[in-house]
Structure 1
Amino acid sequence: MSANTVSGLWKKLTGKLNMSKPDIHMPTIIQRDDHCVSRSLISDSALKVMHRLNQGGYQAYLVGGGVRDILLGGQPKDFDVATDATPEQVRGLFRNSRIIGRRFRIVHVRFGRDVIEVTTFRGSHDAPETQTNPRSKRSARNESGMLLRDNVFGSMDEDALRRDLSINALYYSSKDFAIYDFADGLEDLKRRLIRVIGDPETRYREDPVRMLRVVRFAAKLDFDIEPATEAPLKNLSPLLSDIAAARMFDEVLKLLMNGRALQTYALMQRYGLFAPLFPATQKLLDRGVPHAYELIQQGLANTDARISEDKPVTPAFLYAVLLWPVVKEIHAELVAEGVPEIPALHQASERVLHKQQQTVAIPKRFSLPMRDIWELQLRFARQSGKRATQVVENRYFRAGYDFLLLREQAGEIDNSLSQWWQAYYEAQPETREGMGRPREDNDRPRRPRRRRRGPRKDT
């Protein structure tokens, strides 16, 4: 049945019965011949999940980015499935699955390294909790309207209007091969527009992370942000401070490790969304601390370039870039107070990371390499001889050296150090022994240690 037919039948019915449209939403249905989504473009794992859910008597639809990206001519990497089955019912169908999350309970179905995320249709936040409907569990909010728990299950049309963006509320069925559009998402795709479903301020208060999703998709897809969607961003950006720090770690990776970090960062600055995540770094940027802005810009540009070249990138390097200006300033203060340079760096790193954990929690598997990358910056400037060999043999030497190059690109230091270390790294062992490190202006020759003598004995 075509979209026009559905719409016509609805108008005919409501006109005869003198009805106003009830609290359901008729989708626009795009038949197979009128769209480009094909099963050949969908992962076998996602098709298996939908097929088994359908066999079990449940509805199942490919939803969100998988549908959106195919319609835009891309090749999705992730596929999400929406269903009317509860998480427990999904878990019962797939032994290779597990239920995760507390605020939003979802199911991960794993096929080797491929993971399909399955979500139950969400219902209205204010749906009453009833004994006759065990599927319905009341949502919980804090004083600002943010949802603390949200496992209210509902119908497909309710689920569509609960999604954040119109372009993510597109559902594909592997049974009839049609696309169901509940929020004019197809029209927004054509207009290249990011639009929040519902009242933007209310939706942002329910989940402030939606503000980050708006700028992330605007940068990723090179779309404009609809004026009403854009208007509350700056005023509501402080709400991001209420988000759990552990959740924010993953959100930052989605923002800045998607190949469009530079564009995303520019939007975050425009709408005040960077400061709640990295308050100490933002303060330095606001003060115009030399080289801080250039370092971050160059670091994000380099990250985008590596991703475009299909080279590996690590969160440790990214976070090391974002926090280095703060570490560097505190380190300088401690050295001025008389603390030796290496211990001063350790103290500065500890202070910065401890403070940062309050807004974005960085796991130890990344924070420990960050410390090594920072410490290598001091060792690059002061090591020679046998110690230089130890630096080259450090397992994070390559990352530390790339960070050194980044500092040079940002104008923080000149390029004499990187040239010397590159030559040292490529030299043969016998050649290394004769290589001397270029002396820096602040280098001082060591004073010979005085040998203590005991009291002079009378003879």
Structure 2
Amino acid sequence: MEFTLPMTFSSEPRIITTDNHPIRHHMIDRDAMKVLHVLRDNGYAGYLVGGGVRDLYLGMTPKDFDISTDARPGQIRKLFRNSRTIGRRFRLVQVFFGGKEIEVSTLRSLSEYDLDGPDAVLAPNNTYGSLGEDAQRRDLTVNGLFYEIEGNTIIDYVGGIEDLDKSVVRFVGEPERRITRDPVRMLRAIRHAGRLGFSIAPESWEAICSHHEKLPLCPPSRIRDEFFKDLHSGSFTVWLKLALDSELFFDILALYKQALSKKEKVDERPYREQLIALAKVIDRSSTLAKESEKRGLNSDFLLALVLVPWANSKFDLVHQQLKGAAAFRFSKILREALDRELGVQLNLRRSIRQQMVTLLSNLPQFLRYREDNSWPRWIKKKSYYKSCALFCELYSESLTGDKAELNLSSLPQESSRSEKPKTPSSNQGRRRKSYNPAFSSSKKGVFGFKK
């Protein structure tokens, strides 16, 4: 069978030497360098890959330092006792250094699907390959770069350096095929354009606008996790504008489709302006959290802010004046609407949905107390007082532009974003768990055991 290579694939890479790029060894994380040296000293090739190379080239500090190698996962595990293997579709190794982890993956090959179209048979995800094949499997050209420490050179098979120099985000290969293969790539494209301040290549942008409706084909949990990353990115405003223009936003939050979609005869400008104003407030809170090295606000808190324009449109939220049983009934109606229109779509936990209902349903009352500058003692004793008060302040900031005081340390925060990974013990997985017998006070007991 004869395969046709995608248009951005080059069998001969462009090699960028030391004199033509800014990356130096001292800029790379010490533990990542240690991993690269161990691989090299044991006869394996090792490369810094992806976002780490991209950020260093742009003069930014990488969030992660990922490594690719020609060593197989089992061989990597033998070299690093402080490691574990993760992943189902493709196995990779996490090497632990205190509370930090370095991900080491084996170079992968192109599948027949990527080479010969969507009707070809998918090759196993654990098919290992060459450097060029691995570069071709990556989502964006700016993420398809490799850095090797021997010659201090950057290896570019996909035109990533040229796109970095031109500030362009571009899919690797044919955009339509890459989107069909994994629609989540559309979210990554607009994310990197937003974070880096880049434009999106015309053919890539056209493909996103034409195929945005394929996004819901992905598992809801993947879409949710990708969306939450953008909520906390600090560049959510730029992301939101791109997501609205491409209509990807309506595939993530379908409850906005009727109110905002270009296909409906509704003036979208007020909603768009409200959303962008709220996005600026969200970005300020995320930036403050990063600068102060504190954890950001919970994802449910930020998502509830994004939903205020929808709630205003559907329920006239901020003008509600309900008390007692009427307020309880309204919160129940709001909860049912969120469960129906968002809970399943984003696979949100019940606790997250309930927290969002608490923030939204209390907003009208808190706005009135804020306007009157009169806060009853009883409401200050409520467990939700601090969160709802800040929610009210941030919403007001989006309306007036007057910056609210942000005291992140006194509020529930995004704990999962800074949890340190647990270093696996040397005998992890070797011991069997021991359980005590189960007893029951019923007449015949459980599994034959009587109390």
Structure 2: which amino acid aligns with 1:191? K
What is the correspondence of 1:16-31 to structure 2 with a 5 Å cutoff?
A: 25-31=11-17
Amino acid of the residue matched to residue 322 of structure 1? V
- Structure 1 partner of 2:178: 203
**Residue aligned with 1:228, SS:** helix
Is 1:107 matched up with 2:93? yes
Rounded Cα–Cα distance in structure 2 between residues aligned with 1:109 and 1:282: 43
User: Which of 1 and 2 has greater Rg?
Assistant: 1
State how 1:96-245 maps to structure 2 within 5 Å.
96-126=82-112, 150-245=125-220
State the match for 2:284 in structure 1.
Answer: 305
Q: What per-residue deviation string (whole Å, max 9, x for no partner) do you get for residues 83-105 of structure 1?
A: 12233433343333333333343
RMSD: 3.7
1:290-332 Cα distance to aligned partner (Å, 9 max, x none): 9644442222101212233325333122111223344455556
Task: Provide the C-alpha distance between the structure 1 equivalents of 2:139 and 2:236, rounded to a whole number of angstroms.
Answer: 21
Distance 1:187 1:108 in 2: 31
Among the aligned pairs, what percent are the same residue?
32
Matches within 5 A, 1:278-317: 278-286=253-261, 287-288=266-267, 292-309=271-288, 310=291, 312-317=296-301
Aligned residues: 381
- Cα distance between partner residues in 2 of 1:148 and 1:256: 34
Judging changes above 3 Å, is the alpha-carbon distance between structure 1 residues 84 and 182 closer, same or farther for their aligned structure 2 residues? same
Q: Does the aligned pair in 1 maintain the 2:254–2:341 contact within 8 Å?
A: no
- Partner residue of 1:68 out of 54, 63, 79: 54
Match of 1:389 among 377, 386, 389: 377
Deviation at residue 148 of structure 1 after TM alignment: 11
2:228 corresponding residue in structure 1? 253
Is residue 106–residue 118 contact of structure 1 (8 Å, CA) maintained in 2?
Answer: yes
How far the C-alpha of 1:389 sits from its partner, in A, is 2.8
Q: 1:282 & 1:193 partners in 2: Cα distance?
A: 29
Structure 1 residue 395 displacement after superposition: 4.4
> What is the Cα deviation at residue 253 of structure 1?
2.2
For the residues of structure 2 that align with 1:262 and 1:273, how far apart are their CA atoms?
A: 14
Over 3 Å counting, the alpha-carbon distance change for 1:147 and 1:243 in structure 2 is farther
Deviations 1:379-427 (A, max 9, x none): 526889x993343244443332232134334559xx9xx9xxxxxxxxx
Helix, strand or coil at the partner of 1:62: strand
Which residue, out of 390, 395, 398, partners 1:407?
A: 395
In 1, Cα distance between equivalents of 2:244 and 2:210: 13
State the TM-score, normalized to the length of structure 2.
0.74
332, 339, 348: which is aligned to 1:346? Answer: 332
**TM-score, normalization: structure 1?**
0.73
* 1:125 to partner: Cα distance: 1.2
Q: Pick closer, same or farther for the CA change 1:375–1:150 going to 2, 3 Å.
A: same
Query: Kindly tell me: are residues 382 and 321 of structure 1, through their superposed partners in 2, closer, same or farther at Cα, counting changes over 3 Å?
Result: closer
Candidates 313, 320, 345, aligned match of 1:359: 345
| 2:329 alignment partner AA | P
d(CA) in 2 for partners of 1:409 and 1:291?
Answer: 16
The one-character-per-residue Cα deviations of 1:223-244 (angstroms, maximum 9, x if unpaired) are 1221222221111001101111
Q: How big is the shift at 1:177?
A: 2.0
Q: Residues 35, 202 of structure 1: CA spacing in aligned structure 2 closer, same or farther, 3 A cutoff? A: same
Q: Aligned with 1:403: secondary structure?
A: helix
User: Distance between the aligned counterparts of 1:234 and 1:148, measured in 2?
Assistant: 29
CA 1:394–1:150: 2 relative to 1, 3 Å: farther
CA–CA distance in 1 between the matches of 2:180 and 2:208?
11
CA shift for structure 1 position 208: 0.7
Would you say the 8 A contact 2:367–2:392 is kept in 1? no
Over residues 204-251 of structure 1, what are the superposed CA-to-partner deviations in whole Å (9 max), with x where a residue is unaligned?
Answer: 111111111111111111112212222211110011011111111221
In the TM superposition, what is the alpha-carbon distance from 1:377 to its structure 2 partner? Answer: 1.9
User: CA 1:409 to 1:149, structure 2 compared with 1: closer, same or farther past 3 Å?
Assistant: farther
Q: Specify the SS of the correspondent of 1:274.
A: helix
Q: Which has the higher contact order (CA 8 A, sep 6+)?
A: 2
Tell me, in whole angstroms, the C-alpha distance in 2 between the residues paired with 1:289 and 1:201.
28
Deviations 1:111-162 (A, max 9, x none): 23322222221211128xxxxxxxxxx99x998x997973332111100111
| Aligned 8 A contact 1:244 1:359 in 2 | no
Cα distance change on mapping 1:392 and 1:191 into 2, 3 Å: same
Moved more, 392-401 or 403-412: 403-412
What is residue 91 of structure 1 aligned with on the other side? 77
Within the alignment, does 1:322 sit opposite 2:297 as a pair?
A: no
1:200, distance to aligned residue in structure 2 (A)? 0.8
Q: Structure 1 CA distance, aligned partners of 2:209 and 2:135?
A: 26
The residue that corresponds to 1:11 in the other structure is none
The answer as to whether partners of 1:208 and 1:239 remain within 8 angstroms in 2 is yes
C-alpha separation in 2, matches of 1:351 and 1:227: 38
The residue identity in structure 2 corresponding to 1:319 is L
Q: Which amino acid aligns with 1:308?
A: T
Deviates more, 1:350-359 or 1:71-80: 350-359
The residue type equivalent to 2:396 in the other structure is: E
Unaligned runs of 5+ in 2: 1-8, 405-451
* One-letter identity of the residue aligned with 2:73: P
| Whole-angstrom CA distance in 2 between matches of 1:148 and 1:156 | 17
